[in-house]
């Protein structure tokens, strides 16, 4: 498993170019990475402040899995690029083995976004560990992290569907799609529940006191 090590500038340059990779799958993985990085920030800010010592133990419990999630997010960016490039290579093949090669490459290309969905689900669970158990001044960053995991999940299922047609096993394709849908349903439902839990506390928006999910287009 390689790690994507380019700078942000290089990543954006490549993403905006005529290159096939990085593409939507890498963006899904990067959303996962950003969500995990935000949770890491929440942990570090909390444990650095003695006023929130009563939260330190719980934050430190979450630190190792959050760091692992960050590492996984970085790796999945490259994994998605490698899987897509292998799939494109298979499509260029000729001869009797072409369909088999495409199917094998498609399984790998579907496997990466499925992994992103699994990790986004894990990210939602880690966010839940920190809600009301960390420095309240960075609570909004937990909410943004949740949004990143939701984005990762929604983006990943698009890539699952995009790569399923290459599979020559209909049952396997159905199994992958069902798994992806179940993961995304959890991510979206739990993400909404956590956001509503967090935003039951009113905050000032301009001159009006409103809740986040009352804002137009938020749901």
Beta strands in the chain (DSSP E): 203-205, 208-210
Please choose, from the candidates 53, 58, 219, the residue with its C-alpha nearest in 3D space to the C-alpha of residue 128: 58
Q: In whole angstroms, what is the distance from residue 162 CA to residue 172 CA? A: 15
Q: In whole angstroms, what is the distance from residue 218 CA to residue 35 CA? A: 18
- For residue 218, what are the contacts with CB-CB under 8 A and spacing of at least 6? 212
Residue 20, number of CB atoms within 10 A of its CB: 11
Beta strands in 145-207 (DSSP E): 203-205
**119 within 8 A of 32, measured Cβ to Cβ:** yes
The whole model's pTM is what? 0.88
**82 within 8 A of 22, measured Cβ to Cβ:** no
Which residues of the chain are modeled with pLDDT < 70? 1-3, 200-219
Residue 204's DSSP bridge partners are: 209
What's the CATH number of domain 8-214, 1.10.10.10, 3.90.180.10, 2.30.22.10, 1.20.120.680? 1.20.120.680
pLDDT for residue 2: 65
């Amino acid at each position: 498993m390689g790690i994507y090590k380019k700078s942000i500038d290089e990543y954006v340059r490549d993403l905006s170019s005529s290159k096939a990779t990085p593409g939507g799958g890498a963006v899904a993985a990067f959303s996962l990475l950003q969500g995990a990085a935000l949770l890491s920030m929440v942990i570090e800010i909390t444990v650095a402040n003695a006023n929130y010592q009563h939260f330190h133990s719980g934050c430190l419990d979450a630190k190792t899995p959050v760091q692992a999630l960050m590492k996984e997010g970085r790796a999945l960016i490259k994994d998605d690029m490698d899987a897509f490039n292998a799939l494109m290579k298979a499509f260029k093949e000729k001869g009797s083995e072409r369909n088999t090669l495409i199917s094998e490459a498609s399984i790998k290309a579907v496997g990466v976004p499925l992994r992103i969905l699994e990790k986004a689900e894990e990210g939602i669970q880690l966010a839940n560990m920190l809600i009301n158990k960390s420095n309240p001044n960075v609570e909004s960053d937990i909410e943004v992290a949740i949004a990143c995991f939701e984005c990762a999940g929604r983006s990943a299922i698009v890539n699952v569907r995009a790569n399923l047609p290459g599979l020559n096993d209909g049952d396997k394709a159905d199994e992958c799609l069902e798994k992806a849908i179940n993961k995304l349903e959890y991510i979206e439902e739990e993400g909404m529940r956590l956001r509503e839990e967090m935003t039951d506390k009113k905050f000032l928006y301009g001159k009006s006191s409103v809740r986040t999910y009352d804002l137009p287009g938020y749901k």
